[in-house]
Amino acid sequence: MSEHDTYDRLIDLLDGAAAPYELIDHAPEGTTDKVCALRGHPVDQAAKCLILRVKVDRRVTRHVLAVVPGDRRVDLGAVRALFDARYVGFVEAETAERLARSVPGTVLPFSFDPELELVADPDVVAQPRLYFNAARLDRSLVLSGADYARLAEPRIEKISAPAAD
């Protein structure tokens, strides 16, 4: 599945659920703070999406799509505790692209792969307006946090911490 297929699948999901959303076209950008400036909103209203490798034990590895507010970082210790894991770290770009079905910087806060477990911070779903790249570097989407939670059905857990300076 290409990133265009991922974009189309997202739009089909939103249209099929009659979820109100907005599309924003902008210059290509995948860095959270820079794309927030292009879209014209505070960074905390963005969904930062990161794919993690969670090693529960020597034989079991899971992949998690962690969604946190754009002004925060993923708390790897919180994710490790959540899964009672031995190790949590970021996946390499190739694995991220395969699981997200889009390139880094365009990862959706939705999982369309059964191998990718979705966990969202409660501050993400609480946003009245949640912004994220729509599987494209040049287009973003705005959706309410409530509609996001209803459609994506993430596991909602506190997995963010203040960003390091």
Strand partners for 25: 139
* Measured CA angle at 139 (ends 71, 65), to 5 deg: 50
Q: E strand or H helix at 141, and its extent?
A: strand 139-143
Residue ranges with strand state E in 21-137 = 21-25, 47-55, 61-69, 72-74, 87-90, 116-120, 130-133
Which residue did the predictor score with more confidence, 2 or 74? Answer: 74
Is the pLDDT at 15 greater than 90? The verdict is: yes
Structure confidence at residue 161 as a pLDDT band (50, 70, 90) = very high
* pLDDT at residue 3 greater than cutoff 90: no
pTM: 0.95
Domains of the chain: 3-157 (3.90.960.10)
Rounded Cα distance, 110 and 118, in Å: 7
Residue range 149-154: mean pLDDT, rounded? 98
3-class DSSP state of 36: helix
**10: its two tokens:** 């997202």
CA-closest candidate to residue 17, choices 155, 149, 127, 156: 149
Amino acid 152 reads A
Q: List all residues 6 or more positions away from 103 whose beta carbon is below 8 Å from its beta carbon.
A: 3, 30, 97, 137
Q: How confident is the model at residue 164 (pLDDT cuts 50, 70, 90)?
A: confident
Q: Which pLDDT score is estimated for 58?
A: 93
Nearest to 133 by CA among 41, 42, 39: 39
61 closest CA partner among 90, 37, 42, 85: 85
pLDDT digits (tens, 9 = 90+) for 25-70: 999 999 999 999 999 999 999 999 999 999 999 999 999 999 999 9
Strand partners, 67: 49, 120
Phi then psi for residue 96, to 5 deg, are: -60, -45
